[in-house]
C-alpha cells in the first residue's frame, strides 16, 4: 500500500494524518504510526469491519434529521410518529432492510443554573477526622456536604471514588480504576452498616486493642497507606458480609435484579485475588463461584457503597447542594471494564498526549482507549452505563479530558508517545448520551478543557451547555 493510500485509509477510519502542536506547528504522522493505529483499530488488508453497521441517529430535542422516514420504536416498545418530536431516550429506527439504527433523543442543550455558587474540592482520602480509618469515608463526605451547605456553599467536589486494586495488583491512582461502573469500597463506613451490630466477629475485632492501635497509626500517619487502610476495613467487612448473607434483605435482592452484572463483577474481583493479578495474567478466563466468600465480600461492599452514596446524594439534594463527581478518562487495562467490555477497547494502543513544553517526549497514560467505532457498533452500551452510574448519585458530573469526545491521542503498541496519532470520536453522539443522562438525572456537566484544546471542543461545549474549567491564576 502506498503512503497516499495508507493516509486515505487512515482518514476513512478517523485517524488524523497530521495535527498542530502547542507551537502551532503541523506534525505529520509517519507511515509506521498510521499503520500501527490501523492495526489497533482492527483494520486488516484494507478492510474496515464496521462499515456495514446500522448506525446511530441523534434526535436533538426529539427531532429526527430530515429524510428519516423509517418506523421508530421507542425504548418503551411503542411505535412513534417519526415526524413528531420523540420522547427523550434510546429508541430504534427500523429500516425496510437490515438491522435498526439506534436513535438517541436528547435535549439540544443543558440549562445552566443562574447566578453563582461556591463550594469545596477535596479528595475523600484527605478528609480526616477523629474517627477515620486512615482515609475519609462516605459518612465524612455527607457531613462535609451538610457543613458546606450550612455556610451557604453549593458544591462539594472530589476525585473519582471508583473501584481500585489495593492488594495484588496494586493500582492506587483514582484515574486508573478497576471499573467506572462500581464504587471504591475503601470509602465505605463499616460503622454505618446494620451488620456492625449483628456480627459477633466484627464486634470482637472492633473491640480488640491491637486493632484499635492499628487504626490510630493509620489515623495519625502523614501519608495514606492504601494497602493497610483497605486491609483494616476489609477485616471488619468480611465477617459482616457473612452475617448479611445469612438473611439478605429484600432491598438487596431488588438491587441485584436491577444490576445483573454485579455478581459478575464480584466474581471477577475474587478471581483477581485468586491469581493475584489482573485478567491478562490469569491462566484461563474462568471465574470463581458467586458463593465464594471473596465474591460475597465484594457483593456486600458494593451494596454498602450504593446505600451510602445514595444517602450522600440525598443529603446534597435536601440541602440544595451539589455532589460533584469525577468521571476519569481511562480504566486499568487489567480491570473489570476492559475484561467485560473487551470489544469496546482498542487493546493495541494506549491513551496519551503529544509532546509539549512540559512533557517534551509526550505522555503514555497506560490505559487502553475506547474504540470509537466498536462502542458505536455496540450502541454505546458501555459508555451509557458509565455515565448513568455516576449520575445516580451526582448533581454535577466532571468529564475528565473532555476533548476525548472529539479526539484522543493514541500511542500504538511498540511506539513511543512522540509517534502517536489523534483518533477522532463521534462527538455529537457522545454529547447526546451525556445530555440525555444528565437531563434524566437533573444534573449539569463540567468538561475538563484545560491546556491546548482545539476550537471545535470549546464550541461544542458551548453549543450543548457544558460548563468549562479554569485555572484561577489565569
The 8-class DSSP code of residue 309 comes to: H
Q: In angstroms, rounded to a whole number, what is the distance separating the alpha carbons of residues 237 and 297?
A: 7
Q: Is the pLDDT of residue 126 over 80?
A: yes
Q: What is the mean pLDDT of residues 177-196?
A: 98
CA-to-CA distance for 366 and 384, rounded, in angstroms? Answer: 23
The chain-wide mean pLDDT, for the chain, equals 95
Record the cell numbers describing residue 250, joined without a space: 429484600
> Whole-model pTM?
0.96
Residue 67 clears pLDDT 80, i.e. is over it: no
How high is the pLDDT of residue 114? 80
Please tell me the predicted confidence (pLDDT) of residue 97: 81
pLDDT recorded at residue 115: 83
Provide mean pLDDT across the span 131-160: 96
Q: Buried b vs exposed e over 94-129: b needs ≥16 C-beta within 10 Å?
A: eeeeeebbbbbbbbbbbeeeeeeeebbebbbbebee
Cβ-Cβ contacts under 8 Å for 304 (sequence gap 6 or more):
185, 188, 190, 193, 237
Specify the pLDDT at position 70: 83
pLDDT band for position 474 (cuts 50, 70, 90) = confident
Mean pLDDT of 303-323: 94
Instruction: Give the least confident one: 29-33, 161-165, 319-323, 351-355.
Output: 319-323
* Nearest alpha carbon to residue 38 among 9, 5, 4, 8: 9
pLDDT of residue 471: 87
Does 24 have pLDDT greater than 90? no
Average pLDDT over residues 265-276: 98
Amino acid at each position: 500500500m502506498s503512503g497516499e493510500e495508507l493516509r486515505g485509509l487512515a482518514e476513512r477510519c478517523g485517524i488524523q494524518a497530521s495535527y498542530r502542536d502547542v507551537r502551532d506547528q503541523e506534525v505529520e504522522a509517519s507511515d509506521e504510526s498510521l499503520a500501527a493505529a490501523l492495526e489497533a483499530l482492527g483494520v486488516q488488508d484494507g478492510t474496515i469491519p464496521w462499515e456495514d453497521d446500522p448506525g446511530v441517529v441523534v434526535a436533538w430535542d426529539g427531532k429526527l434529521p430530515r429524510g428519516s422516514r423509517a418506523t421508530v420504536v421507542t425504548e418503551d416498545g411503542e411505535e412513534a410518529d417519526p415526524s413528531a418530536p420523540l420522547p427523550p431516550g434510546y429508541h430504534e429506527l427500523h429500516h425496510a432492510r437490515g438491522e435498526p439504527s439506534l436513535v438517541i433523543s436528547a435535549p439540544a442543550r443543558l440549562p445552566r443554573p443562574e447566578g453563582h455558587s461556591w463550594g469545596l474540592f477535596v479528595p475523600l482520602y484527605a478528609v480526616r477526622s477523629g474517627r477515620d480509618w486512615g482515609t475519609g469515608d462516605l459518612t465524612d463526605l455527607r457531613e462535609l456536604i451538610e457543613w458546606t451547605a450550612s455556610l451557604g456553599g453549593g458544591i462539594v467536589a472530589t476525585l473519582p471514588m471508583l473501584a481500585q486494586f489495593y492488594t495484588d495488583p496494586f493500582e492506587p491512582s483514582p484515574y486508573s480504576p478497576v471499573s467506572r461502573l462500581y464504587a471504591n469500597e475503601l470509602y465505605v463506613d463499616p460503622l454505618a452498616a446494620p451488620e456492625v451490630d449483628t456480627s459477633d466477629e466484627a464486634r470482637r475485632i472492633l473491640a480488640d486493642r491491637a486493632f484499635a492501635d492499628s487504626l490510630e497509626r493509620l489515623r495519625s500517619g502523614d501519608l495514606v497507606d492504601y494497602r493497610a487502610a483497605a486491609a483494616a476495613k476489609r477485616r471488619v467487612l468480611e465477617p459482616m458480609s457473612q452475617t448479611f448473607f445469612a438473611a439478605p434483605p429484600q432491598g438487596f435482592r431488588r438491587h441485584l435484579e436491577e444490576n445483573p452484572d454485579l455478581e459478575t463483577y464480584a466474581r471477577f474481583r475474587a478471581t483477581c485475588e485468586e491469581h493475584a493479578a489482573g485478567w491478562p495474567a490469569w491462566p484461563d478466563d474462568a471465574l470463581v463461584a458467586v458463593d465464594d466468600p471473596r465474591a460475597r465480600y465484594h457483593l456486600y461492599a458494593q451494596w454498602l457503597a450504593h446505600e451510602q452514596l445514595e444517602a450522600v446524594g440525598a443529603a446534597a439534594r435536601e440541602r440544595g447542594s451539589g455532589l460533584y463527581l469525577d468521571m476519569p478518562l481511562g480504566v486499568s487495562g487489567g480491570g473489570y471494564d476492559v475484561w467485560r467490555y473487551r470489544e469496546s477497547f482498542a487493546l493495541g494502543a494506549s491513551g496519551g498526549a503529544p509532546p509539549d513544553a512540559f512533557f517534551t517526549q509526550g505522555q503514555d497514560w497506560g490505559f487502553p482507549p475506547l474504540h470509537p467505532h466498536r462502542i458505536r457498533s455496540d450502541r454505546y452500551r458501555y459508555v451509557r452505563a458509565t455515565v448513568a452510574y455516576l449520575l445516580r448519585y451526582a448533581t454535577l458530573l466532571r468529564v475528565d479530558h473532555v476533548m476525548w469526545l472529539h479526539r484522543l491521542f493514541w500511542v500504538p503498541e511498540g511506539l513511543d508517545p512522540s509517534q502517536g496519532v489523534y483518533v477522532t470520536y463521534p462527538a455529537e453522539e457522545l454529547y447526546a448520551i451525556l445530555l440525555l443522562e444528565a437531563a434524566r438525572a437533573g444534573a449539569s456537566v463540567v468538561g475538563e478543557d484545560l491546556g491546548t484544546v482545539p476550537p471545535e471542543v470549546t464550541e461544542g461545549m458551548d453549543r450543548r451547555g457544558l460548563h468549562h474549567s479554569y485555572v484561577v491564576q489565569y
